[in-house]
Structures are given as C-alpha cells and as structure tokens.
Amino acid sequence: MATAVLGLIIERRSTVNIAAAVLLVVLGPVLYRTHPAPAPNPNSGLIAVTQSAYAEIRVVEQNNTRYMIIDGGTHTIVNPLTWESYFPYVNVLDIAALWFDTPGDMLLVGLGGGSVVKRFAKAGWTVDAVEIDPVVTKLAYEYFGLKRDEARVFEMDGRRFLMATDNTYDLIIMDAFGSSSIPFHLVTSEAFALIHSRLSADGILAMNIEAVGWDDIIVKALAVTVGVQFEHVVVLPIAEPPNQLGNLVIMASDRPLKLAEELPGPQGRFTREYDRVHAWDNRFTVASHEAPVLTDDLNPIDVWSERVNLVAREHLHEVFDAPGLTW
C-alpha cells in the first residue's frame, strides 16, 4: 500500500538506518513461506510476528521508527514517541477535510496501524473504521498508539460493511489496498455506487493507491470508474518524478473540488505542507476514454497490481538491500 514512499522517508530521516526493516519488506513473503516465522526479538528490532488468517504481520522498530509490515509490504511507518506518520499520502488525505466547515462523520476502510484514524480523530472527526483482519486491529492498539475512543472499529470486509450499514458519512477514505494487490471487489463501478449511497449530499470519497507513474493504467482505470458514480474526480500525485513508483490520492464528489483559498506554503521540503501543496498543484483529471470501467464482471486490477508489486520489489532491492539482515 505504501512501500513506494520509503525512498522519500530515507531522505526525511537520513540519520535513521531502516535497512533491516526494509529488507523484511523485500524478503518477507519469501522467508515466511520457506522457513518458520522468526521469534520476536526486541533487541534486533523485531517486536512482534503474528500469522493471521489473512497474512503474516510483523512489527519492527529501528532507531525510533516503527513499522507494520504485512506479507512483506509496509503498511504503517510512525514515530513511536508521537505516533505521527512518515507517509506523505497521510498528509495529502488531510486536504479532504478542507471542504468542510466543521469536522463531520468519517468512514475509513482499511485500518492498518491507525495513522489516518488518529489524524482525523485529533482534528475532531467522528470516525468509524473497517478492518478485515482482527490481528491488524489488535496490533494497532498494542504497538501503534491507537486508542479505543478514537474510532469505532468494525472487523469485517469493507464492502460487506457498506452493504450492511445504514449510516451516511461526510467523508469516506479507502486505504485498504495491500502491498501486492488491490481487492478487486472494492474498486468496481458497483462498489463505488455503494460508497456513493453511503455519502452525504456533499460527501467526499478519498482513495489512496499505489502505481508506477502518474499515468499508470491503474490510476486511469480507477479514476474513470469512480467517475461513473461521481460528477467530479481529481487525482493528487505524490511520487517524484512522475514516471516513478509512488502513491496517489483520488478524490471524488458531486460538488466541485476547488479550494476556497491557497494551501499554506511549505517551510521546507519534508513537511506536511510540502506534501499537500505538491499534490494539489500537480492535480489532474482523467478523461473517460482513457481507460476501461472496472465492473464486478470484468476487472483486471489484480493483474495490473502484480506488475506494480514487481516494480516495488525490484526498487526496494536496488535501494535498500544489505547483507546479513535476515531473521
């Protein structure tokens, strides 16, 4: 989900040696399939290793940086002293709140370590979160500072929750996309119609995705498919340069997605303000003819995701591979 920005994180925290944790990102799926999972060893930075019904999940800490790694993909990276996220896309998601005069009701699909929950709860939003894996929820409480009064957490599939609930939300954030795949049933025209029905009249959908370049077919197809249900769709890119692996945030609504005033200028390169301004200033739209609409009957997103996963693994090997850092 968020492995693509680890290169940026190295720049942000140049004094932090994250090679051991990143090697887990690269080799984790291979190691746990061919060898028994290692026992936790806090002295080496491996705080917890758990096999759930869905994945192997590791909690790793190196030099005051804590990671949640799910099946070899990094889903959460935080400062364990403040619980602030080091992922730029979390900062970009903040833009969605600027379209509301006051905090409202938010639904997050995909809990991870709880960074997005904590950010919006702190800002005064009432948050519901859906997480399919109970072990992820447990680790978020134990190791990532998530508090039970920050969100109601529902442990079930996101689409099933949307089908079952009668609640409507001002903001729905989709952050459920794994390190090597995007759950196809969450990104079809039918799924977005369901999401649209659970939003208030001026509600906004925000979706974090990972792709190889700003014009990746995944980006275009998701934007076009979202556009079937929403009048206005904008893509906010994060990776630099535009042809690289990275995160993008798609925002959609039936109201125009225009900010009343300019975003505050950044005081430095590696700041929240920079992430937001960079994404907003480089926003773009996708025309309906540029990609197919994804449906429950026809959706090759899993095939496209495997290509993204391959590039991510190759990139991580090139940048972070180091000898002797195995468990």
Residue type at 57 in one-letter notation? I
Q: Say if residues 225 and 189 touch (Cβ distance below 8 Å).
A: yes
Interatomic CA distance for residues 141 and 298, integer angstroms? 38
Structural tokens at position 23 = 């090697």
pLDDT at 40: 86
Phi, psi of 173 (to 5 degrees): -110, 125
Structural tokens at position 158 = 């996101």
Residue-wise pLDDT tens digits, 272-308: 999 999 999 999 999 999 999 999 999 999 888 888 8
pLDDT at 293: 98
pLDDT at 180: 59
Domain 88-299: top CATH class: alpha beta
pLDDT at 327: 32
Q: Say if residues 75 and 5 touch (Cβ distance below 8 Å).
A: no
Structural tokens at position 316 = 């991580």
How far is the CA of 146 from the CAs of 44, 70, 116, 128, in angstroms? 24, 18, 10, 13
pLDDT at 179: 54
Angle between helices 301-320 and 217-229 (to 10 degrees): 140
**Global pTM?**
0.87
Q: Which residues of the chain have pLDDT under 50?
A: 1-34, 319-327
pLDDT at 72: 72
pLDDT at 25: 38
Phi, psi of 208 (to 5 degrees): -90, 130
Q: Domain residue spans in the chain?
A: 3-84+308-320, 88-299
Angle (CA) 20-25-26 rounded to 5° is 95
pLDDT at 36: 64
pLDDT at 305: 86
pLDDT at 34: 45
Residue-wise pLDDT tens digits, 231-286: 999 999 999 899 998 899 999 999 999 999 999 999 888 899 999 999 999 999 99
pLDDT at 93: 98
